[in-house]
Chain A
Amino acid sequence: MEKYDIKAEERKKFLKSFLVWMILAGIALIAFLVVLVTRKPEEVPEIPEVVRNNDIAPVERVYDYAEVLSDQEETDLRNLIADYEERSKCDLILVTIDQAVGLSDEEWTNTMVNLADDFYDQKAFGYDQPHGDGALLMDNWYHAGQDDSQAGAWLSTSGKLEWAIGPREEQAVWDALDAGFEYSTYDAYARAIKKIAYYGEEDTNGGVRQKGSAQLPWWLMLGAPIVIALIYAAVNMKQKAGAVTTTAMTYVSGGQPTENVRRDDFLRKSVSKVKIETSSSSRSGGGGSYGHHTSSGGFSHGGGGHRR
């Protein structure tokens, strides 16, 4: 009989458990050391200071055609926008309208996208250059709160904001807008502007990726190994004493009972009917992301809409 060597078996078990991880960690560590030793002296790239470079576009940022804001609110919004434009290096424009754009989702979307994109293009907004970085929030108040409401907002993005704001970010803008409407129209626009500016601010170096920006966040570095180790321990601690391996037939002599009676007799039948309720044609939640497209002026835009 072959001798059972506890130590050898324990070593084997340990190595089998971690060999792959040891190899991976070893390779990564060696690669890191090689990069560390062989890298050239650090050249700190100069991040160009982004300054406003657009003399064509008007200075006005708040166009309250629907007259939903007071003069004071307009002034406050202009100041707020000026502050956030400086931070995000993006032009931020608010336009309110009270105009029929179509009741169906398709009509509404097509009209709103054209209105918003054209407004941006015709006035040649853009922080870094005409038709450059910026976003325009167009809010339509047509028959708001009525059955035939065409109210809703459209966000037209351009330049770096076109790429920084995707469907998820757009939803965050709509959430901010809706949350603000709980208080006031001014609050809604202020919150939406801040949210849009936030996405521009995230990329203020003009798309130049800084060294180390792809590094894993510190919480992931510390937390992930702990969580994985805990899961590993919990999974490997699980044991089952044994499973039931008998069945209902295990002790039945001959493996089959004798059926004396097996009857399934029809007794009666009943039929009931219920009227199908048709839901009213609510259009809440229409709009959605429109994706990247080219406006009639030939400029690239992103964005999406949000009906209410």
Chain B
Amino acid sequence: MIFKCKNCGGNAIYDPEKKMIVCPFCDSENNYDRKDKETTYGLEVCPECGGTIPVEQYDSAMKCPYCDNSVIFNPRVEGEYLPRFVIPFEIGKERTKGMIRERFKKFKFAPSDFLSEARLDSMQGVYVPFWFYDYKTRAAYEGEGTKVRSWTSGSYRYTETSYYSIVRNMDIPYEKLPADASIKMPDEIMDLMEPYDYSKLENFKPEFLSGFNAEYYNMPAEQIEGRAKQKMESSANSILSSTISGYTTVREKSKQISILNRDTNYGLMPVWRYVYEYNKQEYPFYVNGETGKIIGTAPLSKKKVLFYSATLWFLLTVLLASINGILGLV
């Protein structure tokens, strides 16, 4: 499907700053038609210009490299691939560029063109598929704690140890524990992108995808549930630990974290992805399209490291040599 401006016929896309569909050609707002065009040649052929789209196995939306129209592949956003919800992009491309520049402006050793307009313009907005897990869990703990008190009387030092039985049992309901379902996106990076603000969740509408790339889930929920469980268990352990305090030592006797009820949902989360290539190596940067949290490290330019360090060395040497010269003369 393609969204077309009713006014000029241009490709209407979702504007994160205005939070609506706009036409980048005539600036019409929310004035569009949905065109469910399809060719008989499959998804690889652009329904608008007939050009070949380099669509991959899990792509559900992308731009045609020839006519620049944003094409959404109907079969990949419907039926079993219909997302339950989506957080639309809240931060537009220009604002994201500014945030990346702000983040790295103090970093002295990045290559000169790292923050250039041309490089940053290659940044792409991607809706990343996530599985969200709801768990009703019960955490049960039994242990033995000691409290130690010491005092001195006469020529003796006394130590009193009191032993306590510690029992905890609590229900912890987890809602929407996320795990990305995209092979392309590194898991550890996607984990660092968290948290998303779920108050911005919307029911899925294909309009949100217009102007962005998107994928549908690359694997079933069961395949990656281990990651969600790990997050849940880590959280439950921390919560349990936070309720046990005031003891000198604690010895765990038993601990059980069990899932009483579970539910899964599929949704899309917004991510800006900027890939900088330097010395034949890729340096990817990811920006949470909702919160603006940036994940990534800038490449190091050896020339700049050398230049900056040599400059400092030179200035310090001049400073010390001058001081030394003055001391030698007076």
Contacts and interface: CB of A to CB of B under 8 A. Distances in A.
B321 interface: yes
Interface stretch (B69-77, B81-89, B153-161): B153-161
Interface string B99-134: 001000101110011011100000000000000000
A152 to B, nearest CB: 32
Given A232-B308, A259-B243, A28 B156 contact: no
Nearest to A270: B161
Nearest to A266: B164
Contact of B155 (A220, A267, A275): A275
Contact of B161 (A25, A36, A269): A269
B172 interface: yes
B254 interface: no
Interface residues of B, number: 85
A268 B18 CA distance: 67
A215 B192 CA distance: 53
Contacts, number: 235
Given A229-B313, A263-B166, A276 B176 contact: no
A4 B158 contact: no
B242 interface: yes
A7 to B, nearest CB: 8
Interface in B140-181: 144-145, 152, 155-177
B101 A4 contact: yes
B320 A4 contact: no
Contacts of A240: 297
B156 A25 contact: no
A183 interface: no
A242 B192 contact: yes
Given A28-B322, A214-B327, A216-B327, A271 B159 contact: yes
Nearest to A211: B328
A147 interface: no
Contacts of A250: 194-195, 235
A295 to B, nearest CB: 38
Contact of B294 (A9, A32, A242, A268): A242
B219 interface: no
Contacts of A270: 160-161, 163
A267 B158 CA distance: 20
B297 A241 contact: yes
A278 B242 CA distance: 42
Given A6-B113, A242-B192, A257-B171, A22 B315 contact: yes
Interface stretch (A10-18, A74-82, A102-110): A10-18
A265 interface: yes
Nearest to A267: B163
29 contacts: A4-B97, A18-B312, A22-B315, A25-B322, A28-B323, A31-B322, A32-B322, A35-B329, A211-B328, A212-B328, A220-B320, A228-B313, A236-B308, A245-B194, A254-B173, A257-B139, A258-B170, A260-B170, A260-B171, A261-B170, A262-B167, A264-B145, A264-B166, A266-B163, A269-B163, A271-B160, A274-B156, A275-B157, A276-B152
Interface of B: 94, 97, 101, 105, 107-109, 112-113, 115-117, 138-139, 144-145, 152, 155-177, 189, 191-195, 231-232, 234-235, 238-239, 242-243, 293-298, 300, 305, 308-330
Interface of A: 1, 3-4, 6-7, 9-10, 13-14, 17-18, 21-22, 24-25, 28-29, 31-32, 35-36, 39, 211-212, 214-216, 220-221, 224-226, 228-230, 232-233, 236-237, 239-246, 248-254, 257-276, 278
